[in-house]
Amino acid sequence: MLASLAALVAAAGTAVAQPPSVTRHVLPNGMAVVVRENPVAPVVTASLQVRAGSRFETAETAGITNFLVRTMIRGTARRSGTQVAETAEDIGGSLDASGEVEAAEIRGEALARHWEELLGLIAEVALEPSLRGEEIERERRLVLSQIKTRAETPFSLSLDTLLRELYGSHPYAWHSLGLKSAVERLGRAQLAAHYRAVFRADRAVLAVSGQVSRERVVRAAERLFTKLPRSGAHEVGAAPPAAPSGERRVLERPAQQAQILAGYLGPGLNDPAYPAFRVLGAVLGAGTAGRLFAELREKRGLAYSLGALTPFRTGPSFLVTYLGTAPENSAAAEAGLLAELEKLRRAPVSDEELARAKAYLLGSFALDRRTNARQAWHLAFFEVIGVGWDFPERYARALEAVTTADVEAVAQRYLNRPSIVVLQPPPR
Amino acid sequence: MSCPARLAPVLLASLLGSACSAVTPSSPNPSEGSMPTRRILVNGVRVVVQEFHASDVVAVQLWVGVGARDEASSELGLAHYLEHMLFKGTVTRAPGFVEREVEGVGGRINAGTSLDYTYYHTVLPAPRAIPAVEMLADMSVNSTLSEKTLDLEKRVVLEEMRLGEDNPRRRLSRQLYELLFDGHPYGRPVIGTSELIQVLTRETLVGFYRRHYVPESFVLVVVGPIIASEVLAAAERTLGRLPRSGLKRLPLSAPDAGRSARLEIERPGTQAYLGMAWLGPKLDHADTPVVDLLVSILGQSRSSRLPQMLRERLGLVSSVSTAYSALEAAGAVTVTAQLEPANLARAEAQILRELQRVRERGVTDAELRRAVTAAEARYAFSTETAEGRAYAFGRAETVWRLEEELAYVDRLRSVTPAQIRSAARRYLDPERYARLAFVPPAR
């Protein structure tokens, strides 16, 4: 029963549920192209990702990758930003871009019959961005507004504060939108230099999923992306080590709910301990059987929203547990949350709990990869960060193999001295 | 399909996260699978089944024709509260059944309550389709609604209310509806009020459950790699055996002419939020596809008019968008924006100028073509998953008609620029609208 959904979904894709055909091809300039033929719906999605993002930034450049790719879709040598948007919409689609932590993405979707125009538009944006001054200023204003919104939203402010506590001077400490101080100052020359450094064939992957033919996509990609330079001399410096504070920070903000977050650093996705660490997070936060839901919501009615977060990171990942509660219940909820974390460290999980957590994780992972957009993102992401587009299958097998002893070992190793953030309204 | 007309304006989830993120409203492309089978059981339960082999995941949904609009003024929040309580156990299923029967096999379940309907949605490995039908049927009439869990869940729902208050966009949407539909059932908060929730008794909740959770209110939708006849047989032996109640849902009267109202509310933070709303056509109205396209041209894509003018050219807002919710008895057209407080008056004036421009000069052929293509694409993308299809069938069958849903994109294709201009004149009066702003506290 455990692996059923994951196995079934992974095998899905055609009218007779044949495995969808995924292939990887390397263009003469070194750029990888991953294609997934999926005839289910008359649509196509594409994800062009480059290995860049906040992981490679410093406090002085924090946000430069997101700022760059957001500005890239604001116009090319041939089209204004409005024309780029109109062209995408004319083919039943849209074009968007974002810089994340491990990778930056230009993504598009369209009706399948326009697949070639979609790839053409993505190539144009990736190869001929104009980075015009007025567009840079427009985007700067929007990004600064997004940074401000995060800082005024109780949950995101609390999470961002906790990540700073966990990572210290490591670049995982800040959100991929970047730091206000850096985004305010970045100029065209820096954006252009960053563009030249990261839009390189050997650090780019194009993934396409939808009602397309593999051969035709590969031929089109060869033609469209041939001018993407092979490689740059851009070396990635080692990030400063992450150093969790293990402190408890209190933020006072006007809000109806108090936010309570507690977190730890964990292994990166290449670490053999990573699958067990994800299972550990699922024991706490997965679904209605997760310990946090069962104990703090169902038994004690302390929260509506609560859970546990663990991301895919090549460097040290994290486990963050969170809940929102009435300010008068803040102390009880914090004690309850910490008690659950401590319990996990002191006693092994049962076989049943392990099986449930694994089923939940495998189900989530499989369900999340059923649309073309999510497939294209996953294929490009895992390929571009260096673990291969087929990482999900290996990861699913590794999750299935996790034992209670593995979970106990990661709990002992990683759940030591949480860093805590409590956001609450000021006393009246 | 995910055209703007079908987005539920106020949809609350009961278990984890937001209901809105769970599915995209959608409808199938008949060319990409068999047409759905529709059956009405002897007691009035409607069943819609589609064999869809995109993956081995099945979507099983139970739709109930009850929402906030069916509540008496002393019952505000009951439809939503009941939806939470249906996950707490039945006479034969102990609490924890969700985990055992759904999550334990890698599936998911959640539910949402809106003004017009409540629905329970699951995705599961296909072999679990029949057990899921049995489970939903059991929840729909045999939930225990125990006193103890009722009291505990009050705390959870009160937390959900607080969470909503801390989210400016959600709060803006709710209060804008209150302002636009003042005095009409669509102006009520789906989540209810804390005063009523705190004094809610089991007797009241059970009364509401018995009154509304009846065969005539139920629509069962199953989409996935299943055999339709087996699902229909399972529906017959579960939901099909319930006695008819004789319930006829009362039709809701249309609200009075759109209100002119202005409200400014202080809330923490340094940014402002602006909402403007007009009454639009109800779901079952000839103008629905026309207003859908009008709203799309005004503010639903990067190249649409309001984002281009207010965000790109004038830099007055950090975001602006339009929405159209076509409800069973009325529609709402809304414009919402996030901006610096100093720009509020100018932004509002500019939005009105843009509306005036459409009223006077209409839209271009290129804009109309783009909006129709966008609708066609949303439709196509929504056919990717079983739950996307099931959502469209369930919603149409509950508050509209399945055949209308299936023909909707063709109706969009026949809309002309002249119709769009006249719809702008009919519905978007620049001198009569509800306007709500959240502004930072005065220092």
Same domain, A265 and A198: no
Within 8 A of B155 by CB-CB distance, chain A residues are 300-302
CA dihedral B186, B190, B192, B197 (to 10 degrees): 140
Q: Which domains does chain B have, with CATH numbers?
A: 37-241 (3.30.830.10), 267-439 (3.30.830.10)
- Identify whether A157 is part of a domain: yes
Judged by a CB distance cut-off of 8 A, whether residue A238 touches chain B is: no
- Please give the structure tokens belonging to residue B349: 């004036």
| Residues of B in Cβ contact (< 8 Å) with A253 | 268
In angstroms and rounded to an integer, the radius of gyration of the C-alpha atoms of chain B is: 22
How many whole angstroms separate alpha carbon A202 and alpha carbon A27? Answer: 10
d(CA B31, CA B17): 34
Considering the domain architecture, whether residues A113 and A253 belong to the same structural domain is answered as no
Whether B383 sits inside 8 A of A6 (CB atoms) is no
What's at A355, amino acid-wise? A
Asked if B106 and A363 come within 8 Å (Cβ–Cβ), the reply is: yes
Q: For residue B367, which amino acid is it?
A: E
CA triple B294-B299-B304, angle to 5 deg: 90
User: What type of residue sits at position A68?
Assistant: L
DSSP annotation of B132 reads H
Residue A216 within a domain = yes
Query: A112: closest CA among A163, A58, A39, A23?
Result: A39
3-class DSSP string for chain B? CCCHHHCCCCCEECCCCCHHHCCCCCCCCHHHCCCCEEEECCCCCEEEEEECCCCCEEEEEEEECCCHHHCCHHHCCHHHHHHHHCCCCECCCCCCHHHHHCHHHCCEEEEEECCCCEEEEEEEEHHHHHHHHHHHHHHHHHECCCHHHHHHHHHHHHHHHHHHHCCHHHHHHHHHHHHHCCCCHHHCCCCCCHHHHHCCCHHHHHHHHHHHCCHHHEEEEEEECCCHHHHHHHHHHCHHHCCCCCCCCCCCCCCCCCCCEEEEEECCCCCEEEEEEEEECCCCCCCHHHHHHHHHHHHCCCCCHHHHHHHHHCCCCCEEEEEEEECCCCEEEEEEEEECHHHHHHHHHHHHHHHHHHHHHCCCHHHHHHHHHHHHHHHHHHCCCHHHHHHHHHHHHHHCCHHHHHCHHHHHHCCCHHHHHHHHHHHCCCCCCEEEEEECCCC
Cβ-based burial of A247 (10 A; exposed 0-12, middle 13-18, buried ≥19): exposed
What b/e sequence results for A305-336 when a residue is b if at least 16 CB atoms lie within 10 Å of its CB, and e otherwise?
Answer: bbbbebebbbbbbbbbbbbbbbbebbeebbeb
B6 pLDDT exceeds 50?
A: no
Pair (A207, A328) in one structural domain: no
Tokens 């996260």 found at: B17
Clarify whether residues A217 and A252 are in a common domain. no
Domain membership flag for residue A229: no
Are A27 and A226 spatial neighbours (Cβ–Cβ below 8 Å)? yes
DSSP strand E in A219-300: where? Answer: 248-252, 258-266
Mind telling me how many Å the CA of B158 is from chain A's nearest CA? Answer: 8
B-chain residues near A355 (CB < 8 A): 104
CA A394 to CA B379: how far, in whole Å? 34
Give the integer Cα–Cα distance in Å for B99 and B92.
Answer: 15
Residue B297: partners with Cβ closer than 8 Å, 6 or more residues away: B304, B305, B358, B363, B367, B368, B370, B371, B420
Q: Which two tokens stand for residue A224?
A: 């469209």
What is the total count of domains within chain A?
A: 2
Same domain, A169 and A297: no
Expressed in percent and rounded to 5, the helix, strand and coil fractions of chain B are 50, 20, 35
Do A89 and A201 lie in one domain? The reply is yes
C-alpha dihedral, B252 to B255 to B256 to B261, nearest 10°: 160
Query: Measured at the alpha carbon of residue A287, what is the angle toward residues B125 and B50, in degrees to the nearest 5?
Result: 30
A203 and A94 fall within a common domain: yes
The pLDDT value given to residue A258: 96
Interface contact A5, partner B, CB < 8 A? yes
Check residue B259 and give its pLDDT: 72
- Answer yes or no: do A92 and A201 share one domain: yes
Q: Which of A224, A239, A269 is where one domain is finished?
A: A224
Q: Checking DSSP bridges between strand A204-210 and strand A43-50, what pairing results, if any?
A: antiparallel
Identify whether residues A199 and A348 lie together within a single domain: no
Q: Which of A146, A253, A359 sits opposite B104 (nearest CB)?
A: A359
* B373–A12 CB contact, under 8 Å: no
Q: Do A81 and B312 touch (CB under 8 A)?
A: yes
Nearest Cα residue in chain A from B296: A89
Q: Is the pLDDT of residue B24 over 60?
A: no
**Residue B338 contacts by C-beta under 8 Å, 6 or more apart in sequence?**
A145, A149, B169, B271, B272, B273, B274, B317, B318, B319, B320
Q: Which residues of chain B are within 8 Å of residue A138 when distances are taken between CB atoms?
A: 312, 315
Query: Is this complex's ipTM strictly greater than 0.90?
Result: no
B287, HSE (Cβ side, Cα atoms, 13 Å): 24
Distance CA A249, CA A423 (A): 8
Do A65 and A185 fall into the same domain? yes
Q: Which residues contact A326 (CB under 8 A, 6 or more apart)?
A: A257, A258, B158, B159, B162
Which of B12, B24, B55 to probe by mutation at the A interface, max A CB count within 10 Å?
B55
CB contact under 8 A, A8 and B29: no
pLDDT at B17 over 70: no
Please tell me the predicted confidence (pLDDT) of residue B11.
54
Q: For B377, which of A86, A111, A287 is closest by C-beta distance? A: A111
Say if A231 falls within a structural domain. no
Same domain, A109 and A161: yes
Mean of the pLDDT values across residues B423-430?
97
The answer to whether B301 contacts A89, with C-beta atoms less than 8 Å apart, is yes
Which chain A residue lies closest to B124 (C-alpha atoms)?
A: A5
Q: Please report, as a single letter, which amino acid is at residue A385.
A: I
Which own/partner contact pairs does A179-184 have at CB distance under 8 Å and 24+ positions apart? A179/A59, A179/A62, A179/A63, A179/A147, A180/A144, A180/A147, A180/A148, A181/A59, A182/A59, A182/A60, A182/A61, A182/A62, A182/A63, A182/A64, A183/A62, A183/A63, A183/A67, A183/A140, A183/A143, A183/A144, A183/A147, A184/A140, A184/A144
Residue B399, amino acid? V
pLDDT at B241 over 70: yes
Residue with tokens 């300039």: A29
The residue among A224, A259, A287 that closes a domain is A224
Parallel, antiparallel, or unpaired for β B434-439 and B261-266?
parallel
* Alpha-carbon separation of residue B312 from A128, A364, B190, B309 (angstroms): 21, 38, 35, 6
Q: What is the 3-state secondary structure (H, E, C) of A208-228?
A: EEECCCHHHHHHHHHHHCCCC
Provide the whole-model pTM. Answer: 0.91
Q: Whole-angstrom Cα distance, residue A15 to residue A12?
A: 9
Q: Is B302 on the interface with A (CB under 8 A)?
A: yes
User: Which CATH number do you get for residue A154?
Assistant: 3.30.830.10
User: What tens-digit pLDDT sequence spans chain A (428 residues)?
Assistant: 233 333 333 333 333 344 568 999 999 999 999 999 999 889 999 999 999 999 999 999 999 999 999 999 999 999 999 999 999 999 999 999 999 999 999 999 999 999 999 999 999 999 999 999 999 999 999 999 999 999 999 999 999 999 999 999 999 999 999 999 999 999 999 999 999 999 999 999 999 999 999 999 999 999 999 999 987 655 566 788 898 999 999 999 999 999 999 999 999 999 999 999 999 999 999 888 899 999 999 899 999 999 999 999 999 999 999 999 999 999 999 999 999 999 999 999 999 999 999 999 998 888 888 899 999 999 999 999 999 999 999 999 999 999 999 999 999 999 999 999 999 999 87
Q: Helix or strand or coil: residue A45? A: strand
Q: Do A294 and A384 belong together in one domain? A: yes
Which residues have CB under 8 Å from B289's CB, separation 6+?
Answer: B3, B5, B408, B411, B412, B415
Closest CA to A147 of A70, A199, A95: A70
Which residue from B106, B154, B139 is spatially nearest to A286, judged by alpha carbons?
B106
> What is the pLDDT at residue A3?
31
**Inside any domain, residue A265:** yes
A342 assigned to some structural domain: yes
* Structural domain harbouring A51: 19-224
- Find the length of chain A: 428
Interface of A with B in 9-28 (CB under 8 A): 9, 11-17
State both tokens at B196. 């009523």
Residue A92 counted as domain residue: yes
User: How far apart are the C-alpha atoms of B428 and B295, rounded to whole Å?
Assistant: 10
> Quick check: B79 pLDDT over 90?
yes
A264 located within any domain: yes
Eight-state DSSP code of residue A341: H
**A&B contacts, CB < 8 Å:** 213
CB B301 to CB A141 under 8 A?
no
Task: Report pLDDT digits (tens) over B375-394.
Answer: 999 988 988 999 999 999 99
CA proximity to B165, closest of B176, B154, B175: B175
